[in-house]
Every structure is written in structure tokens, then in C-alpha cells.
Structure 1
Amino acid sequence: MIFVFHLLDKPDSQALRQRLRPEHKAYLGAVVDRIAFAGPLLTDDGADMIGSLLAIDFDSREAAVEWLAAEPFTRAGLYASVMINAFQNLWPQKTGFPAAG
């Protein structure tokens, strides 16, 4: 089942996010074949990252929670707010949206 992680950063944590981003991306890379979508949440002007939105397939909610507990941003205490919800993808993914590096 896909689980969606809505994760909001603590205020004034951009430096911590940037420092840990390579480790975070490597951790995501270990489950890349199970990612439905993933990326940072941004301020309305797109200038700053303020959180993460991830949708990843796991066998159970417990497995999703365990995975998040070991995630680098979580271990460093970056997130002020964490929501995890089961998700059913009823709409096919559109192509042609720009991907950011």
C-alpha cells in the first residue's frame, strides 16, 4: 500500500536541510523502485524548501513508520510536523511536468 508522508520543517531550518540533503536523497534512493512521487514542499514563491511530500509503497503502516524513523531528516530533528496516511492512487500520472534536480 502507498503511504503519503506530509512533513513540515521546523522554522529556520534551511541550513540543516541543505546539509543533510545528500544523505536524505541517498536514503530515498534505496527505495526508488517503490516511490510513487517525492519532493520538497516549497514556499509559494518557490524560493525555499519548507518540508517534504513523499508517496512510497510499504507492506504496512508499521514498515512506513519504521522507515521514516531511520530517515536522515527525521533523525536530525528537522520536522516540526509529521503526517502519514494510506493513499490510493486513482489517477494515472501525467507526463510532461518538469522534474527538478
Structure 2
Amino acid sequence: MQFAIICEDKPNSVELRQSTRPEHVDYLNGLGKTLVFAGPFLDESGNPCGSLVVIEAADQAEAEAIAGRDPYGHAGLFESVTVRPFRLAFNTTTST
């Protein structure tokens, strides 16, 4: 089952995001095939202001546990985190 982890950054936290990014990237890489895709939300200036991470997990509890281990969260970057069941219905893009 797939889950979308939707994270909104706290205001004025670009510096915190950048300083914590290496640990976050290591964490995502360590998820292996559990990770479906991930990337940042951008504000009107093109700066990251949140994250979308889609994962495979057995259930809601497992998905929430994966979200809870993200180094960004441990660093206090997020204002909110929502974990929702997700179903990929269409995929017509390639990564850039």
C-alpha cells in the first residue's frame, strides 16, 4: 500500500532545511524500495518550503513510523506532517 507524507516547513526555515539535508537524503536513500518518490514543495521564489514523500508501507502505523524517523522532523523543520493513503493512478513524466 502506498502513503503520501505531506510536510509543511516552519516559516523562515530554509537554512535549517539546507543544514539538515545530507542526513535527510541519507535517510531517504536508506529506505530502498520502500521509497516511491520524493521532492520538495517550492514557494513563489523557488525556495523549498515542504516535502512530499511517497512510500510503500504495510499500513498507516508503519507509514507514520517511517515519517517519524525523518531527520528533518527530528531537527524541528516541519510545522505539520500528514500521512495519507495514496494511489498512483497516472504517471506520464520522467525525473529531471
> Equivalent residue of 1:37, what SS?
strand
Per-residue deviation, 1:2:
0.6
Letter in 2 for 1:2: Q
2:32 corresponding residue in structure 1: 32
Aligned equivalents of 1:67, 1:28: Cα separation in 2? 10
Q: Flag structure 1 segments of 5+ consecutive residues without an equivalent.
A: none
Does the alignment pair 1:3 with 2:3?
yes
1:51 corresponding residue in structure 2: 50
> Equivalent residue of 2:37, what SS?
strand
Q: Which aligned pairs between 1:1-101 and structure 2 lie closer than 5 A? A: 1-46=1-46, 48-91=47-90, 93-97=91-95, 99=96
* CA RMSD after TM alignment: 1.3
TM-score (norm 2): 0.91
Aligned equivalents of 1:96, 1:14: Cα separation in 2? 27
Per-residue deviation, 1:66:
0.9
Q: Flag structure 2 segments of 5+ consecutive residues without an equivalent.
A: none
Structure 1 stretches of 4+ with a deviation exceeding 6 A read: none
Deviations 1:43-70 (A, max 9, x none): 1342x10010111111111111111111
Identity over aligned pairs, percent? 35
> Equivalent residue of 1:94, what SS?
coil
Per-residue deviation, 1:96:
3.9
